[in-house]
Amino acid sequence: MTSWISAKMTMAGTEHPTMLVDLRAIRLAEDAPLRLTAELCERIRLTTDIQADRIYITYRNEPPSNWGWNGKTFG
């Protein structure tokens, strides 16, 4: 699932294009941020022209019991 929200953002005192990615998952592997960050930055750069040094990514490993869908939780 994705949500694209446009907002005026500044980073390092400039208004050049920037992006904040909030990635949440159930049972996210401990090494996932290390493995995924370069790949995500490159894919974002190729599709948006936002440079990697203007992309921040947060990773959240959520307990299955905190995610609900279709009338129940995953845990």
The full set of domain ranges for the chain reads: 19-70
Return the exposure string of 50-62: e unless at least 16 CB atoms fall within 10 Å of the residue's CB, then b.
beeebbeeeeeee
68-69 vs 72-73, strand pairing mode:
antiparallel
- The pLDDT confidence band at residue 16, using thresholds 50, 70 and 90, is confident
CATH of domain 19-70: 3.30.429.10
Whether the per-residue pLDDT at 13 is higher than 90: the answer is no
pLDDT per residue over 24-62, tens digit each?
A: 999 999 999 999 999 999 999 999 999 999 999 999 999
